[in-house]
Structure 1
Amino acid sequence: MVMAAADCTDLPLFPLSNVLFPGGTLRLRIFEPRYLDLVRECSREGRGFGVCLIIEGAEVGEPATPAAIGTIAHITDFYTLDQGLLGITAEGRNRFHVERTRVRDNGLVRGDIRAWDEERTIAVPAEFGLLPTILDRLLGQMNLPARHADRSCFDDASWVGFRMAELLPLAAGERQHLLEIVDPLQRLALLRDALPRFQRE
C-alpha cells in the first residue's frame, strides 16, 4: 500500500487532458496568465506543481475539475516557442492525493495535497518478461530519451509499467486508472492483458 509521505501541502494544480506518470516528461506551452503565475511561483520557490487529469471542463478557459490523484511535476527547462510563447519541460515525480481544492482570483486551481511515497522496487517477474522487450522496441522506434535509461530500469516493474502506460494508445481514463494503482505487478498485468488490442492484424 502506498502511504502518504507527508502532511498536507499547498500546491498549484495544472489540470490537463492527459496523465503524467512518475519519471515521465511533460512539455507545455504556457500562455494563460494563471499558468504564467504558476511558472513564476515554482521557479521562485524551487517547488513543483501538480498535474491532474481533467474530470470536467477543458484545459483553456474556466477552471477545470481535476482528478483526485495526480503527479508532482518539476520544471527542468524553459524555452521560447513560436510567437514568443513560453515553453517548459517538466519531469514527473511523486504521485499525490488531492484533499481539497480552491480557485484563486486569477483562475488558478490550488490544492491541499498529500504526496505518496515512491513505489517499492520490484523486479519484473518472468510472466511479464515480454513487456520490457516491447518497451525497449517502442522507445527505439519513437526515438525517446528513455531509450538511454540504465538497463536496470528495464527490470524495475514500476518503471516499465509507467513507461508502457504512457506509450500505449490508451484512453485517458485507462491511463488514470493505471496511475492510481498502487501495486506495480497489478499494473503490469493490466498492460499485458491490453496488448492484444494493439496488435496488427
Structure 2
Amino acid sequence: MQLAIFPLRINILPDGVLPLCIFEPRYVRMIAESSRRGMGLCLLGKALDGGFSLLLTVGTRIEIIDFDQLTNGLLTVTMKGVERFRIHSMEVEPDGLLCAEVQVLPEWQHAPLQPEQHILAEKLGQLFHEHPNYAAYYPTPHWADACWVVQRWLEVLPLEAEEKFNLMVSNDYHDALHFLLQAVQEEDAAVRQH
C-alpha cells in the first residue's frame, strides 16, 4: 500500500481523533488527493545536528472525518486513526511531500481492563474532564477497553517520540499497558505522599 506521509511531533493511533490546521501547499495537496492514495501520520524523532529530525518508521493510516476552508486560506481538518503501518521505502515528491510504501501491522486486540488496571481509565477520564474540547472528539469513550484506553494515553502522554515509538511498534498493547500502569501508579503514590 502506498501512502502520502504527514510527519508530525504528535501522534495518533487507531480510533484516535486529531484536529489540525493545514497551510503548507504540499499538505493541502495531500488532503486533496487523500481519497485516491491515502495518508499516514508518522512521528518525527529528536532533532539531529543541523536541525533535521528523523522520521520514525511506524505510523498510523488516517482518514479525514471533517474539514473546513477558512477565509484566511487555512484548511482545518479532523483526522481519525485507522490502522498502524511500517514504512518499507520512501520517496520525496518534487514539492517535498513524502510518499511511502507501507505494510499494515497487526491490529491490537481489544480486551477488557482488569480490575487493577481501572486506574488508567479513571485518570484518563479525569484528563477528559479537565479538557472538554479534547473529550468532545470522543462522544462514546470506551473506558472498559484496555486497547482503547492505552491508545488514548499514548496520544496524550508527554513522552519523547522514540519512547512512544518503542511502545507503538509492539504487536500488542501489553508493554504499553504495563508502562502506563506503572507511571500512573507512581504518580498516584507521589501525590498521596504530599
TM-score bin, normalised by smaller chain:
0.7 to 0.9
- Counterpart selection for 1:52 from 42, 46, 61: 42
- Post-superposition shift, 1:78? 1.1
TM-score (normalised: structure 2): 0.84
> What number of residue pairs does the alignment pair up?
186
Over the aligned positions, Cα root-mean-square deviation in angstroms equals 2.4
Name 1:149's counterpart in structure 2: 140
Q: Is the Cα contact below 8 Å between 1:25 and 1:90 reproduced in 2?
A: yes
Aligned-pair identity in percent equals: 31
CA 81–64 in structure 1, closer or farther in 2 if over 3 Å, else same:
farther
2-structure distance, mates of 1:104, 1:192: 42
Residue pair 2:44, 2:161 contacting (<8 A) in 1 also: no
Deviates more, 1:138-147 or 1:10-19: 138-147
- Tell me the SS of whatever aligns to 1:140: helix
- Contact 2:41/2:60, CA 8 A, preserved across alignment: yes
2:23 aligns to what?
Answer: 31
Which string of whole-angstrom CA distances, capped at 9 and with x for unpartnered residues, describes residues 174-195 of structure 1? Answer: 2222222322222111001122
Q: 1:147 to 1:35 in 2, by over 3 A?
A: closer
Establish whether residue 84 from structure 1 lines up as the match of residue 73 from structure 2.
yes
Indicate whether 1:17 and 2:6 are aligned: no
Partner of 1:41: 33
Where 1:20 maps in the other structure, the secondary structure is coil
Q: Does 2:113 correspond to 1:124?
A: yes
Per-residue displacement from partner, 1:57-85 (whole Å, max 9, x unpaired)?
69xxx996421100011011111346221
Unaligned segments of structure 1, at least 5 residues: 1-8
Work out the CA distance in 1 between the residues paired with 2:92 and 2:47: 14
Q: CA deviation at 1:26?
A: 1.5
How has the CA–CA distance of structure 1 residues 135 and 119 changed in structure 2, closer, same or farther, with 3 Å as cutoff? same
Supply the distance in 2 between the matched residues of 1:36 and 1:127 (Cα, whole angstroms): 45
* TM-score calculated relative to the size of structure 1: 0.81
Matched, 1:100 2:89: yes
Query: For the Cα contact (< 8 Å) 1:139–1:147, is it kept in 2?
Result: no
